[in-house]
């Protein structure tokens, strides 16, 4: 049985990017498209769960995006820890960055259509958003029943990393921070760009430094905070 070995003067939160999905294998931009994990993705999540259990981590609840690959990651990870299923809270603000017209395309196709230099600014830069989806495009989130209750003005047709960060941070400040301060031990399963935006916020990185930050799939990232939620340490459980 895992034990809770945390320092009572710290708050610990574990973040994880979902494991590999079907579209990762073909180098396609997934964004808000709901693509499931591959067997390798499930195996990555299970391995993460075993590492967390061996390190003594205990969770009270999990938070994930509304995209199925994060829920699958949480379920496989928790099962591998050998504990009961966690209460799971899913929210669209933890979704991956919306890649607009690039969603479903691979890098080779994108380079051919828009050129390599421009394309790299879209997916590695902070302020450049890809071409937006047309309002009638069936890939637009307004056609997805999961977002029917949201104000249509909130639904993106494309996002820069800055846009994604602005959309994610309210969930951190308004939902996660109060729970962490109350002593809840959280597992947060999300996506590469969503987590990059949070790391930028926690570590005070600028836009240039952000371009070089990578979030590997299926690897737990353990953040330690002061009781006031100032980041004091982070560790990848490789």
Asked if residues 188 and 13 have their Cβ atoms less than 8 Å apart, the reply is yes
> Which pLDDT value is given to residue 8?
67
Question: Above 60 in pLDDT, residue 191?
Answer: yes
Compute and round to an integer the Cα radius of gyration of the chain. Answer: 18
**DSSP state at residue 30:** -
Residue 32 sits in a domain whose CATH number is: 3.40.50.1240
Domain presence at residue 45: yes
2 assigned to some structural domain = no
pLDDT of 123 over the 90 cut: no
Instruction: Please indicate, yes or no, if residue 138 is contained in any of the structural domains.
Output: no
pLDDT of res. 1: 33
User: How high is the mean pLDDT of the chain?
Assistant: 94
Q: Does some domain include residue 127? A: no
Backbone phi and psi for residue 64, each to the nearest 5 degrees, phi listed first = -150, 170
18 flagged as catalytic: yes
Per-residue pLDDT tens digits for 5-39: 456 678 999 999 999 998 988 889 999 999 999 99
Q: What is the mean pLDDT of residues 141-161?
A: 96
Q: State pTM to two decimals.
A: 0.94
Q: Is the pLDDT of residue 155 over 50?
A: yes
96 flagged as catalytic: yes
CB 50 within 8 A of CB 80: yes
- Rounded to an integer, the average pLDDT of 97-108 is 95
- Give CA–CA dist 5/155, Å, rounded: 41
The one catalytic residue among 44, 90, 96, 159? 96
Structural domain for 203, as ranges: 11-99+159-236
CB 183 within 8 A of CB 58: no
User: Could you tell me if residue 94 is inside a domain?
Assistant: yes
Please report whether residue 118 resides in a domain: no
Res 4: pLDDT: 47
Is residue 38 domain-resident?
yes
- Which one, of 70, 5, 63, lies nearest residue 35 by Cα? 70
Name the residue among 208, 184, 188, 185 with its Cα closest to residue 198.
188
Is 225 domain-assigned? yes
Q: What's the number of domains the chain is made of?
A: 1
User: Which residue did the predictor score with more confidence, 115 or 6?
Assistant: 115
């Amino acid at each position: 049985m895992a034990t809770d070995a945390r320092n009572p003067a710290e708050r610990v939160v574990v973040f994880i990017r979902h494991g590999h999905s079907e579209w990762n294998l073909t180098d396609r931009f997934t964004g808000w498209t709901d693509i499931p994990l591959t067997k390798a993705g499930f195996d990555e999540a299970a391995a993460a769960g075993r590492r967390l259990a061996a390190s003594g981590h205990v969770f009270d609840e999990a938070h994930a995006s509304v995209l199925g690959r994060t829920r699958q990651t949480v379920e496989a990870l928790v099962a591998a820890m050998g504990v009961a299923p966690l209460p799971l809270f899913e929210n669209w603000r933890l979704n991956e960055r919306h890649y607009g017209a690039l969603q479903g395309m691979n890098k080779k196709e994108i380079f051919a259509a828009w050129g390599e230099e421009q394309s790299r600014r879209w997916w590695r830069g902070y302020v450049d958003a890809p071409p937006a989806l047309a309002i009638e495009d069936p890939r637009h989130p307004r056609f997805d029943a999961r977002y029917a209750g949201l104000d249509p003005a909130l639904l993106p047709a494309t996002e820069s990393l800055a846009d994604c960060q602005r959309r994610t941070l309210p969930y951190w400040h308004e939902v996660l921070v109060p729970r962490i301060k109350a002593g809840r031990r959280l597992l947060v399963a999300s996506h590469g760009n969503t987590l990059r935006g949070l790391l930028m916020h926690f570590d005070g990185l600028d836009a240039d430094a952000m371009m070089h930050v990578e979030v590997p799939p299926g690897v737990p990232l353990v953040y330690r905070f002061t009781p006031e939620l100032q980041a004091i340490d982070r560790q990848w459980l490789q």
